[in-house]
Each structure stands twice: as structure tokens, then as C-alpha cells.
Amino acid sequence: MSPLAKAIDALLAFIPNSAWSPIQPRYIPLSGEIRDHFDTLDQAVWVEACLLGHEGKMPRQSDDDGDRYLGKTNVPGFENPPGSGCFQVGDLHDWRNDLLALRALVERGNTPEAKSERQLTEPKTLLTGWHAIAGALDLPHARHKEIRSLNDRCGGPITNKGAGTRPMVYQEDLIEWWNKMAVQTQELENQREGARLSVEAQHNYGRDGTAAPEIGGGVKKRRRDKRT
């Protein structure tokens, strides 16, 4: 579930079920800590929508005269009594439906099919030259020889047409390969450390075997054939 969907769910859950009557507007007092909580959720929806470029999909403001709109998500409401700072919200159906439509739009964009389609249509970032390649990995240019060596030895994605040409690679492919290399290196190091500790845990156990304290027993040696 996307952060925007979570924020919308939290904002809608803030409104009691009794407020959703389609027959007549229901009103909810907003003051003090309740208003602070509401404002936090309302702001979270707006921020997440802006990050995704969907701020234009916020609920529409109604044309009713005298309404004041609360927060970034345009909740219709008014002060009661005037000047008290105590707001009430009502006519929530269109507001909720607009938020649910925005939520559905975002969640459709998070499906594997939608992500795959974006990957096919969005242009990939091509890096050329060791400065750009090292920079994409947050490494100084001085380490480009190390990157080139790993690429040559481990089947990396960086290509080079030969002397006088610049290395090229798609940024997405480079980062995916580099991260896999980091995981593989760590796993190999863990295996080496485990083998080292196992050797250190063993000690000579006379002529008949080697003690392995971690398994609480002895590893028996093969008996020699006395006839040889």
C-alpha cells in the first residue's frame, strides 16, 4: 500500500461512520487536540499527493455560499459559533468520493502491470564516462579502475567499444548490478569468517581425533592400515 493510500485511509477513519449519511449533512466539531490531529492527517494527504504529482486531484470545493474550506483537502465546513475557532464539517460525501477516487488512481499505478508498463515507456538514464559512472555509485572518480576491474571480472553491465571510446551503461542496470555485488561480497565474507571461526574452535585431541567444542564431541581420524 502506498503512503498516500495509507494517509487517505487514516483521514477517512478520523470521520465517524455516523457522519456519512447521504440523507442530510452531519457535522463534526473540530477544536483543540481533535483539530490538530485532523490537520496532521489532512496535511499528510496533501504532501503525498504533491510528491506524486496528483495535487490537482484533491476534492473539489463546493459552490455553497458561506462555507469555509478546512485544510488542503478542501473539507467543507464553517465556524460555529462565528469567531470561536471551533469548526464543523459537513456535506462529506463528495469529499470522501473524491478522496477514494484519488486513492484508487494511485493504487492502480502501484500494480506490477502498471510498473512494468512504466518501465517500458519511461526513458532510461544513460551514463557515459567514468566520472558519471562513479558518481552514480556515490564513489570518487579515483576508484574508476576498481569499478572497471569488477565489471570485467564479474560480468558487469558497463560496455566499452575499445580504445578511444567512453564506457557506457544504463544507470538502473549499473545500480542493480552494484547492489547485487555488495550482497554477494558480504555473503562470501560471512562464509569465510564462519570457516575461520570453525578452524579456531578446533584443537588437537591426541592421536585419535580432533575435538570440536561447538558440537560437543570429537572428529575421529581414519585408522591407518597397519599392513601398509
Predicted confidence at residue 175, as pLDDT, reads 87
Which tens digits make up the pLDDT trace of 35-57?
A: 888 888 999 999 888 888 888 88
The CA radius of gyration of the chain, in Å to the nearest whole number, is 32
Burial class (CB in 10 A: 0-12, 13-18, 19+), 127: buried
In the structure, what pLDDT confidence band is assigned to residue 62 with cuts at 50, 70 and 90? low
Whole-structure pTM value:
0.46
Domain boundaries, the chain: 3-118, 126-220
When the pLDDT of each residue in the chain is averaged and rounded to a whole number, the result is: 75
Predicted confidence at residue 52, as pLDDT, reads 81
- The rounded percent of the chain whose pLDDT value lies above 70 is 65
Which tens digits make up the pLDDT trace of 148-176?
A: 888 888 888 999 877 778 999 988 889 88
